[in-house]
């Protein structure tokens, strides 16, 4: 692991930070060759069972994939990594061909034996993937040295969103903070996902002196260190729980929180509020001053996959630049739909709408990409202890 000091003198994982920064730059700027669909000749009347995040398969994507291949996608939407793992464990992977864990969860998946190595030769469009993100699969998801069990699909961040007609960030009206969720002027009008909202609270507490700088990242080192840090975070969150109007768990609950749930400020994924911004709703999402939490969601093949040919056709189509780009924001096609995140496919941005770059720059102004906070690799003990503190907060 490569460490360097940031401007506050805190040691940070330079390799992970630069990986996401480089990936962001490449995925929004690089171009690729012609649109290649290896599955055209498949002419299948089969199906593929996918377990993906709830907003990752827009209607236009599903329709075009069906038209191109003849394959029906049986889509099961989920809202958390825990839900993916639990569903796969419950059936030992049976009933699902594809699932979509986040990049930092490899340590939790490896001992489960629920995934199979991916044959790159069966995915012509794998060449379109961002090399820095592809390397994560090769380096961190090569279980038993058998090759990558994970391919990158979509990347995004978690930061701060707000109702622009009801609230303005106190810092020149532009740059939000994770601490804004906890301010008295929005008491009872905020939302968060419990476990990541607590991480955001911890990053805010680092800026106030309640925690040492770098404490939230250092908490991944060992259980004793984590418990010391997360107890401070949990005590703070419980003390100020009256701030929270809504604990969200998926994309729709974030959107509804702003439009009909009485929420004014929230710690959210970038996708849902970005979609609302583009629809002209009074919602803004932006990277906070502490750094937005960065992640890459990938595609894996279940060890119990039954529709193998259809599975590889699905993966190949996901990595087609045109299909991936249109799925970002509809690509100017009214009925395509959109997920609002960013693609791991090089050249996808060329097939997004003409305004994609404008929105991207508004969401990540200034040095926001250099200031990303990539989620570290997460061992199972960390996830278990975090759930313990998360439950204390939610149930308080």
Whether residue 250 sits in one domain with residue 208? yes
Between 27 and 129, the more confident residue is 129
Is residue 337 within 8 Å of 75, Cβ to Cβ? no
| Mean pLDDT lowest among 22-31, 297-306, 358-367 | 22-31
Could you tell me which residues are beta bridge partners of residue 268?
159
Whether residue 208 sits in one domain with residue 84? no
Q: 156, 151, 99: which is closest to 275 by C-alpha?
A: 156
- Residue 183 belongs to what domain range? 157-293+370-395
Whether residue 205 sits in one domain with residue 61? no
The model's pLDDT over 357-370, given as tens digits with 9 standing for 90+, comes to: 999 999 999 999 99
> Does residue 13 lie within any of the structural domains?
no
User: How high does pLDDT run on average in the chain?
Assistant: 90
DSSP 8-state assignment for residue 26: H
For residue 11, pLDDT over 60 is answered with no
> Does residue 353 lie within any of the structural domains?
yes
Q: 225, 204, 185, 120: which is closest to 373 by C-alpha?
A: 204
First to last CA, the chain: 38
Q: Which residue has the tokens 């509804």?
A: 256
Whether residue 305 sits in one domain with residue 380? no
pLDDT the model gives residue 172: 72
Angle between helices 380-395 and 223-239 (to 10 degrees): 20
> Does residue 165 lie within any of the structural domains?
yes
DSSP 8-state assignment for residue 345: B
The band of 45, judged by pLDDT with boundaries at 50, 70 and 90, is: low
Half-sphere exposure of 241 (CA within 13 A, CB side): 13
> Does residue 1 lie within any of the structural domains?
no
> Does residue 16 lie within any of the structural domains?
no
For residue 334, pLDDT over 90 is answered with no
Whether residue 356 sits in one domain with residue 225? no
Mean pLDDT confidence for 275-283: 95
- Report the distance separating Cα 293 and Cα 157, nearest Å: 5
Whether residue 252 sits in one domain with residue 131? no
Both tokens assigned to 236: 């703070």
Whether residue 167 sits in one domain with residue 244? yes
> Residue 174: which CATH number?
3.40.190.10
| Mean pLDDT lowest among 26-30, 151-155, 183-187, 294-298 | 26-30
- Per DSSP, the three-state class of 333 is coil
What is the number of structural domains in the chain? 2
> Does residue 211 lie within any of the structural domains?
yes
- Report the distance separating Cα 323 and Cα 149, nearest Å: 23
Let me know if 393 is exposed, middle or buried by CB neighbors in 10 A (0-12, 13-18, 19+).
Answer: buried
The model's pLDDT over 307-325, given as tens digits with 9 standing for 90+, comes to: 999 999 999 999 999 999 9
- Per DSSP, the three-state class of 355 is coil
Helix (H) or strand (E) holding 76: strand 72-78
Whether residue 230 sits in one domain with residue 88? no
Percentages helix, strand, coil for the chain, rounded to the nearest 5? 50, 20, 35
Whether residue 175 sits in one domain with residue 233? yes
The band of 224, judged by pLDDT with boundaries at 50, 70 and 90, is: very high
pLDDT the model gives residue 171: 81
Mean pLDDT confidence for 300-304: 98
Is residue 57 within 8 Å of 73, Cβ to Cβ? yes
Per DSSP bridges, beta strands 265-269 and 342-343 are unpaired
Could you tell me which residues are beta bridge partners of residue 4?
12
The band of 34, judged by pLDDT with boundaries at 50, 70 and 90, is: very low
pLDDT the model gives residue 23: 54
- Per DSSP, the three-state class of 214 is coil
- Report the distance separating Cα 59 and Cα 331, nearest Å: 13
């Amino acid at each position: 692991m490569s460490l360097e000091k940031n401007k506050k003198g805190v040691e940070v994982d330079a390799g992970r930070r630069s990986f996401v920064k480089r990936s962001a730059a490449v995925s929004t700027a690089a171009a690729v060759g012609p649109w290649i669909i290896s599955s055209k000749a498949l002419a299948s009347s089969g199906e593929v069972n996918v377990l993906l995040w709830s907003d990752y398969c827009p209607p236009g994507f599903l329709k075009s994939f069906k038209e191109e291949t003849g394959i029906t996608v049986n889509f099961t939407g989920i809202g958390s990594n825990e839900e993916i793992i639990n569903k796969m464990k419950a059936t030992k992977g049976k009933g699902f061909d594809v699932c979509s864990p986040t990049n930092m969860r490899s340590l939790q998946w490896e001992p489960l034996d629920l995934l199979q190595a991916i044959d790159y030769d069966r995915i012509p469009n794998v060449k379109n993937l961002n090399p820095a993100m592809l390397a994560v699969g090769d380096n961190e998801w090569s279980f038993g040295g058998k090759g990558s069990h994970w391919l990158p699909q979509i990347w995004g961040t978690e930061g701060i969103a707000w109702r622009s007609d009801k609230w303005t960030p106190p810092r020149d009206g532009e740059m939000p903070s994770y601490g804004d969720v906890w301010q008295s002027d929005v008491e009872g009008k905020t939302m968060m996902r419990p476990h990541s909202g607590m991480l955001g609270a911890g990053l805010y507490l680092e800026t106030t002196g309640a925690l040492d700088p770098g404490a939230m990242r250092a908490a991944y080192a060992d259980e004793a260190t984590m418990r010391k840090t997360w107890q401070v975070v949990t005590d703070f969150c419980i003390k100020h729980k009256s701030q929270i109007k809504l604990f969200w768990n998926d994309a729709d609950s974030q959107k509804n929180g702003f439009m009909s749930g009485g929420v004014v400020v929230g710690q959210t994924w970038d996708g849902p509020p970005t979609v609302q911004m583009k629809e002209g709703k009074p919602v803004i999402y932006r990277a906070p001053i502490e750094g937005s939490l960065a992640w890459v969601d990938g595609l894996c093949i279940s060890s119990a996959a039954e529709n193998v040919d259809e599975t590889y056709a699905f993966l190949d189509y996901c990595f087609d630049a045109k299909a991936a780009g249109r799925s970002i924001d509809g690509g100017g096609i009214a009925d395509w739909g959109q997920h609002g995140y960013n693609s791991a496919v090089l050249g996808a941005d060329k097939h997004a709408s003409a305004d994609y770059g404008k929105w991207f720059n508004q969401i990540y102004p200034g040095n926001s990409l250099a200031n990303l906070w990539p989620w570290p690799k997460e061992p199972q003990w960390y996830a278990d202890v975090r759930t313990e503190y998360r439950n204390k907060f939610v149930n308080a």
